[in-house]
Amino acid sequence: MFRKILSPFARLFEFHARTHYRTERHSMALTLGIIVAAGVGGFVEIAPLFTIDETVEAAPDMRLYTPLEQAGRDIYIREGCYACHSQMIRTLQDEVDRYGPYSLAVESQYDHPMLWGSKRTGPDLARLGNKYSDDWHVRHLVDPRAVVPESVMPQYAFLLDRTLETENLPDRLAALRAVGVPYSDEQIANAAADARGQARPDTDAADGISERYGDATGVRHFDGQRDRVTEMDALVAYLQILGRLTDAAFANQPLGEE
């Protein structure tokens, strides 16, 4: 019986070996074989993610990153924060209890690239927004061990001294639109001014922010310095919006709140 079950497999194996014995004399046959064999899996797993609608939930209240937040996100990437911090709460009870409602696909819908991360040397940041004050973030980034003595995070004090470069933001938003983020012409044209305005609430530049990005947008001196817009402003603005672009995750999991 055992022999009977195995015999088709043995025949297939035999056939494969014989075919291979012939094809391995042709480099182009091998090339084609490799491309086909290696192509199947990726195609089957990736292509449907673009076509199946349920892959990404609908969230009508989803808002875009403001230019200042996007600049902060670029700094987050530049400094390699993603190497130690994930932004993906898994559907496990202890993670929901520790960090908040589990992450939904829609929350990173406009994240080019995604920053789900692969390692938690530090805690997950998917729901970091509004958890701590701006002041806490600034102190923590300047010297993590002054706030959390056991921390192994590097110091980022230099962000306080570096003026944020805003001139390139229209280009960056335009590139993001090219890959699918629905920024309007107006948002792109005003990107530089909006970035400065969001961190200087008492200036004229701040007026257009809520108009273009919604009333709930945080407009304040994120780094506590009134006279200039620094990279610290941008990074803190980004950290404070993490997990707050949409309420979908909270609506979806009423019991998820701690």
Partner 1 sequence: MMERLTGAERQIALIICVVMAIVGLVMAAAGHGDPMGSHGAIVLIAAGITTFFVLRAIGEPEPAEDRTVDYYDDPTKAGLVIALFWAVVGMGMGVWVAAQLAWPDLRIDAAWSSFGRIRPVHTSGVIFGFGGNALIATSYHVMQRTSRARLAGHVSPWFVLLGFNLFCIIAASGYLMGVTQSKEYAEPEWYADIWLVIVWVVYFVLYIRTLARRNEPHIYVANWYYLAFILVVAILHIVNNLAVPASLTGAKSYSAFAGVQDAMTQWWYGHNAVAFFLTAGFLGMLYYFLPKRAERPIYSYRLSILSFWGIVFFYIWAGSHHLHYTALPQWVQTLGMTFSVMLLVPSWASAGNALMTLNGAWHKVRDDATLRFMMVAAVFYGLSTFEGSFMAVRAVNSLSHYTDWTVGHVHAGAMGWVALITFGSIYSVVPLLWKRETMYSWKLVEWHFWLALAGTVIYVFAMWNSGIIQGLMWRTYTDSGTLAYSFTDTLVAMHPYYVARACGGALFLTGAILAAYNVYMTIRHAPEKRPERDYPTSSEAVEPAVPAAE
Site residues (CB under 8 A) for partner 1, limited to 184-243? none
User: Cβ closer to partner 1: 72 or 117?
Assistant: 117
One residue of 8, 60, 180, 254 binding partner 1 per CB under 8 A? 180
Binding to partner 1 by residue 171, rule CB under 8 A? Answer: yes
Query: Do the Cβ atoms of 249 and 107 come closer than 8 Å?
Result: yes
One residue of 7, 91, 163, 210 binding partner 1 per CB under 8 A? 91
Binding to partner 1 by residue 11, rule CB under 8 A? Answer: no
Single-letter amino acid code for the residue at 248: A
One residue of 42, 60, 182, 254 binding partner 1 per CB under 8 A? 42
Tokens of 74: 């670029």
Q: Can you tell me whether residue 163 is helix, strand or coil? A: strand
**Do you find a cis peptide bond into 113, omega within 30 degrees of 0?**
yes
Surface-to-core class of residue 111, CB atoms within 10 Å of its CB (0-12 exposed, 13-18 middle, 19+ buried): middle
Binding to partner 1 by residue 40, rule CB under 8 A? Answer: yes
By CB under 8 A, what part of segment 49-88 binds partner 1? 49-50, 52, 54-56, 74, 77-84, 86, 88
User: Cβ closer to partner 1: 84 or 189?
Assistant: 84
Q: Which stretch binds partner 1 (CB under 8 A): 22-30, 184-192, 212-220, 221-229?
A: 22-30
Q: Which stretch binds partner 1 (CB under 8 A): 129-137, 154-162, 189-197, 213-221?
A: 154-162
Q: Least distance to partner 1 from the beta carbon of 112, Å? A: 4
Q: Least distance to partner 1 from the beta carbon of 195, Å? A: 14
Binding to partner 1 by residue 182, rule CB under 8 A? Answer: no
One residue of 65, 72, 107, 217 binding partner 1 per CB under 8 A? 107
Binding to partner 1 by residue 251, rule CB under 8 A? Answer: no
Surface-to-core class of residue 114, CB atoms within 10 Å of its CB (0-12 exposed, 13-18 middle, 19+ buried): middle
Residue 84's closest CA among 132, 118, 34? 118
Tokens of 194: 């909006």
Whole-angstrom distance, CA of residue 35 vs CA of residue 12: 21
Binding to partner 1 by residue 98, rule CB under 8 A? Answer: yes
**Contacts for 89 with CB less than 8 Å, ≥ 6 apart:** 95, 96, 99, 100, 101, 102, 103, 124, 126, 127
Surface-to-core class of residue 34, CB atoms within 10 Å of its CB (0-12 exposed, 13-18 middle, 19+ buried): exposed
Q: Least distance to partner 1 from the beta carbon of 140, Å? A: 13
Binding to partner 1 by residue 113, rule CB under 8 A? Answer: yes
Single-letter amino acid code for the residue at 232: M
Token match 């035999």: residue?
A: 14
One residue of 7, 10, 39, 130 binding partner 1 per CB under 8 A? 39
